Chains A and B, each alone.
Chain A
Amino acid sequence: MATRWFGAPVQRSEDPRLLRGKGNFVDDIDLPGTLHAAVLRSPHARARIVNIDPGPARGLPGVHLVITATDLGGVLEPSPLLIPHPALTEPRTQLPLALNEVHYVGEAVAFVVADDRYIAEDALELIDVEYEPLPVIHNLEIASANNAPLVHADVPGNIAAHFVQTVGDPDTVFANAPHIIHETMSIERGAAMPMECRGILARWEAHEGMLTCWISTQGPIPIRNGLAAIFHLPEHKVRVVAPDVGGGFGTKIMMFYPEEILTPFAAIHLGKPVKWIEDRRENFISSNQERGQLHEVEYAFDDQGVLVAVRDKFLHDTGAYTPYGIIVPIITACTLPGPYRLKHYYSEFTVLYTNKVPVSPYRGAGRPHAVFIMERIMDRIAKELKIDRCEVRSRNFIQPDEFPWDVGLVYQDGGPTKYDSGNYQAGLDKLKAMLDYDNFPKLQGEARQHGRSLGIGIGCYVEGTSIGPYEGANVRVESDGRVFAATGVTSQGQSHATTFAQIVADQLGLSPGDVLLTEGDSQAFNWGVGSFASRAATVAGSALHLAAVKVRAKAKQVAADLFEAAPEDIELAGGRVFVKDAPHRFLTLGQLAISANPLRYAYGENARQLMSMKLAGPRPGPALPPGRGAPGLEATEFYSPSHASFASGVHGAIIEVDPKTGMVSFVKYAAVHDCGRVINPMVVEGQVHGGVAQGIGGAFFERLVYNEDGQIVNASFMDYLLPTSAEIPSITVDHVETPSPLSPLGMKGAGEAGVIPVPALFASAIDDALSPYGLRVLEMPLYPCRVYELLKEIQSSS
């Protein structure tokens, strides 16, 4: 069936509302009688709580509730461990409020509910907490040292997990390899920093026994399930809605943040709606962060530049808890082989606790680290053998006829890391053309003669996307012809309302504007996982497609009966249904929906018009014949992928570096991207742009700096530097399309792609610009002072 909307750059249906300021973010929702909450947070990274005295706070006029851990009763339990794993032998999740000890600056210690947030913050200042500070484990070196102090008293060596995967026979290959290099590489923390902080509004209706929560989250349905369990309510008596969400980027899927438990608890206790909105200071110290890893990498290659084996041993900083299991380091381990034929690979990681904010995925989720390492390897091989960097990569690429390619590892979904399709050389060829790569050395040489240091860098990646376990969708035609679709994922800017409508519209012969999507509301659709890991478009999109296909088939069947034709001769187009070659005799989709519902009574103009058409009367037998299924034109379908599908791409940039100041500016940035079949190219490009900007932020502007007391010393936007429009270059995007054979529409995920190769290509470009100095970047993020220091180190050692 030819598609009209799939692949089209349809303008967004979300926009008019958002452009007018009529968005519906959690803090915009105003229920009468709402009270406002604030959280008292630990000022110490590690301390024993000696005593908490909430008394003075309780006495402040306008304060309704002040609770500490001992007030929580049965709710005082560690929050659920979301993704257990056999290697995660010492998981720890946090209590909704700290009981005897605090483990990071920002950990929730008390919860206040007051008439407004101003008073609630006044009350926080009146809560007296006596702490006994303890030694702080503020980085991986300390955490992993012999006789290190312990983040959790019962976790020896601060080791949460230890995991080894081996592919092939790396030991033998290393023993026989002509070239072996060993390097240490490190990546440090950054944070998602969505423009909208977290937030939750909870309402308890006692007469109905119904809990409703509006949460700025990426995973409303699992939260619904968890809240039902925690508060001993039937699932259908808990409704969780993700309204408009102002960016997520992974930080809003860590279920359960304490506030997601405390706010409903307070609402139930007080019988009034309670709202908690995170402020930016809290976002820095209590919303999850990511990116801290330390790698010891050994790699072997032959004289042709073919990489024959890799050993990667790394430490992963999980912060004070492991709410999201060990997904991030698993993804790092599985992403490292990249687009290359790596048949012998040893991966070992140790997950360590530190007294810092807990770690869970942030856009990229472990992949930027892996790509940094592998792309640094490729650049070094090129340098050692004096081969062009792109040529080395070409010699190592998996070829288009070698798919499916089994990397030999178990991916984050428990399935195989098996690349379904790709064409890495085609991507690199496009990128080289976009950057005029072959002419660059000449440009660089001329610039050097004028005292300017230009460099070009590239980064190739393969990204596992579209994992299960499943998503589902419901598609329903109503009697006025409008189509309602519902699914369990939710959007934080990914344009689902538009893109999913495109998928459904194609099947039902409508335009996307006729399809109204509801997502992220457990009442509208009961089953779902969430929007993360670049999966929503493929998995939920496929479910919507399957449901729409079913509705289409049903529509054809009903119409076939009415028109006395064969179902295969029925067409749906322009909102109408007719026998092909006889378009003048049509039913609207709405009329067909009425016909499909054999009630004795029918309402409205559509029904009256139906009466006047001479259609086949009902047949003898049941009004709903066997095989027809439910009345109406409606279907619910689920899609469960057999395993992940693998998107890929390559980015490149030309930069200029000032060696005297370490300052860097972008001259050109290009991205080539393959996410299989694309629903809406405008949306995908926008996602790539945004990802690149976060990647540039994470490579050169953003770094979370913890001091030895475990305090973040730059916990504000003044000193944690999000790049602005003046720092981000123009980004040119081109596409390669290798459809995935795994899903019905051939899609792969796109959400995280933009950020993944940026640290790698940035290092590559800086090395190139400063090649006369012999710089080799082995750490991320960089910043001008650090570039200056690295250059000084080289100059003083030579």
Chain B
Amino acid sequence: MQEQEDTSMFSEENLISVTVNGHLYEQHVPVRILLSDFLRHELHLTGTHVGCEHGVCGCCTVLLNGEAVRSCLMLAVQADGMVLTTIEGMAGTNSELHPIQQAFQEKHGLQCGFCTPGIIMSVHAMLHENASPSEEEIRHELSGNLCRCTGYQNIVEAVKLAAERLRESHTEVK
């Protein structure tokens, strides 16, 4: 009797409830499905990309309760009850580009665009923590996101511009 109860505590499929970009999703998922695959293939939010599946490239970065995490290193079931933001949630409700996205456009901070969503999510988290990062701080904080196209130069410039604009808009709001 005891044995059966214990086994039933372990499952191969769970019902999870996740809020992504303000929208609540409830789904049955296999316990082994990675959060990155869940977002991309169950929720069809394909903006989050998969580059390595071992936690180095950062292409899969999303915000989990506001913190930047690698979605390839989480099981979807671990996100049960949590609030996620992906790249699709960055633009405004009227579809205007977020200041970070706008800065990347203006500074040519992307080429193929594959690493870009992960980078933007990391930048969002970074600027939330440190509104005036130096170049050295930017390069250090971004070192968890690989880019193979840009050589990082214009990404750094875009982050500086985004930081400046976000600081300005916050002082305006005050």
Which residues of A line the B interface, CB within 8 A?
11-12, 14-16, 18-23, 25, 27-28, 30, 118, 192-197, 244-247, 249, 279-280, 492-495, 682-683, 685-694, 716-718, 722, 724-728, 730-731, 754
Contacts and interface: CB of A to CB of B under 8 A. Distances in A.
Given A195-B49, A195-B115, A195-B146, A20 B90 contact: yes
A432 to B, nearest CB: 22
Contacts of B46: 21, 23, 25, 27-28, 30
B113 A493 contact: yes
Contacts of A492: 112
Contact of B151 (A195, A495, A682, A728): A728
Contacts of A722: 146, 148
Contacts of A718: 54, 56
Given A25-B114, A195-B114, A11 B106 contact: yes
The interface residues of chain A, by DSSP majority, are classed as loop
Given A21-B88, A728-B152, 7 more contacts: A21-B47, A196-B112, A244-B113, A493-B149, A686-B153, A690-B150, A717-B56
B59 A195 contact: yes
Interface string B48-84: 1111111011010000000000000000000000000
A493 to B, nearest CB: 3
Interface string B139-174: 110111111111111111000000000000000000
- Most A CB contacts (10 A, CB to CB) among B50, B112, B139 go to B112
Nearest to A724: B143
Interface residues of B, number: 58
Contact of A726 (B41, B57, B113, B140): B140
B128 interface: no
A55 to B, nearest CB: 25
B28 interface: no
B112 A194 contact: yes
Contacts of A194: 112, 114, 148
B156 A19 contact: no
- Most A CB contacts (10 A, CB to CB) among B48, B87, B135, B153 go to B153
A100 B167 CA distance: 65
Nearest to B156: A725
B123 to A, nearest CB: 11
Given A20-B90, A196-B49, A725-B143, A690 B149 contact: yes
Given A246-B49, A246-B113, A724-B143, A683 B108 contact: yes
B105 interface: yes
Given A18-B116, A249-B148, A686 B54 contact: no
Contacts of B101: 19-20
Smallest CB-CB A-B distances: 3 pairs: A21-B47, A246-B114, A18-B113
A19 B105 contact: yes
A18 B153 contact: no
Given A15-B104, A689-B154, A693-B152, A21 B54 contact: no
Interface string B113-146: 1111100100000000000000100111011111
13 contacts: A15-B113, A18-B110, A18-B113, A21-B47, A30-B41, A196-B51, A689-B152, A716-B54, A717-B52, A717-B146, A724-B142, A724-B143, A725-B143
B44 interface: yes
Contact of B112 (A493, A685, A691, A692): A493
B130 to A, nearest CB: 15
Nearest to A116: B41
